[in-house]
Amino acid sequence: MKRAILAGVTVAALIAAAGGGFIAVRGQLHLTSASNVALVAPATAQTSDDPIYYQDPDGRPFYSLMPKKTPDGRDYRAVAAGADLSFEDQPAAAPATATSADRKIKFYRNPMGLPDTSPIPKKDSMGMDYIPVYEGEDTDDGSVKLSPGKIQRTGVKSEPAAPRIIHTAIRAPGTIQLDERRISVISMRSESWVQKIADVTTGSRVNKGQPLMEIYSPSISSASAEYVATINSRTTGGGGTYGRGSRQRLMNLDVPDATIVAMEKSGTVPIAIEWSAPRDGIVLERNAVEGMRAQPGDVLFRVADTSVVWAMIDVAERDLGAVSVGQPVMVRARSYPGREFVGKVSVIYPQVSRDTRTARLRIELPNSDSVLLPDMYVDAEIDTGSPQPVLAVPESAILDTGSRQAVFVEKGQGRFEPRDVKLGHRGGGYIEVREGVAEGEPVVVSANFLIDAESNLKAALKGFSDAGTQQ
For residue 193, the cross-strand partners are: 216, 293
Residues 204 and 280 in one domain: yes
Indicate if 437 and 341 belong to the same structural domain: no
Domain of 42 in residue numbering reads as 9-83
- The answer to whether position 2 is within a domain reads no
pLDDT digits (tens, 9 = 90+) for 236-258: 555 455 567 888 889 999 888 88
Does residue 358 share a domain with residue 320?
A: yes
pLDDT top residue among 465 and 417: 417
Q: Is 184 left (phi over 0), alpha (psi -120 to 50) or beta?
A: beta
- Look at residue 468 and tell me if it is in a domain: no
Dihedral sign of CA atoms 341, 345, 349, 354 in order: positive
Residue pair 16/96 in contact by the 8 Å Cβ criterion: yes
Residue 369 maps to which CATH number? Answer: 2.40.30.170
Decide which of 354, 383, 412 is a domain's last residue.
383
The rounded radius of gyration (Å) of the Cα atoms in the chain is: 45
Give the confidence band of 80 by pLDDT, cuts at 50, 70, 90: confident
β-pair type (299-304, 328-333): unpaired
* DSSP calls for 191-211: -EEEEEE-S--TT-EE-TT-E
Percent residues over pLDDT 90 in the chain? 33
Residue 99 and residue 16 in contact, taking contact as beta carbons nearer than 8 Å: yes
Q: Is residue 46 part of a domain?
A: yes
Burial 99-117 (b: 16+ CB within 10 A, else e): beeeeeebbbbbbeeeebb
Dist CA 433 CA 116 (whole Å): 38
Sign of CA dihedral 138, 142, 145, 146: positive
Q: Which pLDDT does position 83 carry in this prediction? A: 61
Q: Mean pLDDT, the chain, as a whole number?
A: 78
**Is 186 or 25 the better-scoring residue by pLDDT?**
186
Please report the DSSP string for 405-432 in residue order. EEEEEEEETTEEEEEE-EEEEEETTEEE
Residue 79 has pLDDT above 50, yes or no: yes
Residue (of 414, 420, 415) closest to 399 by Cα position: 420
Distance between CA atoms of residues 58 and 196, nearest Å = 104
Please, what's the b/e burial string for 225-241 (b: 16 or more CB within 10 A of its CB; e: otherwise)? Answer: ebbbebbeeeeeeebee
Residues 211 and 289 in one domain: yes
Q: Is 11 exposed, middle or buried (0-12, 13-18, 19+ CB in 10 A)?
A: buried
Give the residue from 340, 358, 383 where a domain finishes: 383
184: in domain: no
Domain count, the chain: 5
> Sheet harboring 131-134: ordered strands across?
117-118, 105-109, 131-134
Distance CA 155, CA 143 (A): 19
Q: Is the pLDDT of residue 9 over 60?
A: no
140 Rama class: left (phi>0) / alpha (psi -120 to 50) / beta: alpha
Does one domain contain both 50 and 20? yes
pLDDT-based confidence at 122, cuts 50/70/90? confident
Mean pLDDT of 365-394: 89
- What string of H, E and C letters represents the secondary structure of 344-362? EEEEEEEEECCCCCEEEEE
User: CB of 300 within 8 A of CB of 202?
Assistant: no
Q: What is the pLDDT of residues 301-348, one digit of tens each?
A: 999 999 999 999 999 998 898 899 999 999 999 889 889 999 999 999
In a domain, 57, yes or no: yes
User: Is residue 62 domain-resident?
Assistant: yes
**138-149 b/e with 16+ CB inside 10 Å = b?**
eeeeebbbbeee
Query: What's the rounded Cα separation, in Å, for the pair 130 and 468?
Result: 15
Give DSSP secondary structure letters for 117-185: EESS--B-TTSPBPEEEETTTS-SSS-EE--HHHHHHHT-EEEE-EEEPPP-EEEEEEEEEE-GGGEEE
Same domain, 423 and 367: no
CATH of residue 205: 2.40.50.100
* pLDDT given at position 233: 78
Give yes or no: residues 355 and 265 share one domain. no
Residues 54 and 16 placed together within one structural domain of the fold: yes
Let me know whether 28 and 49 are in one domain: yes
Residue 259 shares a structural domain with residue 312: no
Q: Is residue 362 very low, low, confident or very high in pLDDT (cuts 50, 70, 90)?
A: very high
Query: How much is the pLDDT for 237?
Result: 53
| Greatest pairwise CA separation for the chain in angstroms | 149
pLDDT at 212 over 90: yes
CATH number of domain containing 406: 2.40.420.20
Please indicate, yes or no, if residue 458 is contained in any of the structural domains.
no
H or E segment to which residue 468 belongs: helix 448-470
Same domain, 174 and 310: yes
Domain presence at residue 55:
yes
Give, in order, the Cα–Cα distances in Å from 173 to each of 263, 317, 425: 54, 14, 22
- pLDDT score recorded for residue 363: 96
Q: Does the pLDDT value for residue 55 go beyond 70?
A: yes
Q: Which amino acid is at 8?
A: G
AA letter at 243: G
Among residues 278, 283, 281, 285, which one has the least CA distance to residue 367? 281
User: pTM, whole model, 2 decimals?
Assistant: 0.56
pLDDT digits (tens, 9 = 90+) for 253-298: 988 888 888 888 888 888 899 999 999 999 999 999 999 999 999 9
pLDDT surpassing 90 at residue 81: no
- Residues 243 and 439: their CA atoms lie apart, in Å, by 79
Q: Do 356 and 261 have their domain in common? A: no
Q: Would you state the pLDDT for residue 52?
A: 79
DSSP letter at 402 equals S
pLDDT tens digit string along 161-206? 999 988 888 999 999 999 999 999 999 999 999 999 999 999 999 9
Of all residues in the chain, the percent with pLDDT exceeding 70 is: 73
| pLDDT value of residue 424 | 84
Lowest mean pLDDT among 6-15, 123-132, 214-223, 386-395: 6-15
d(CA 152, CA 17): 18
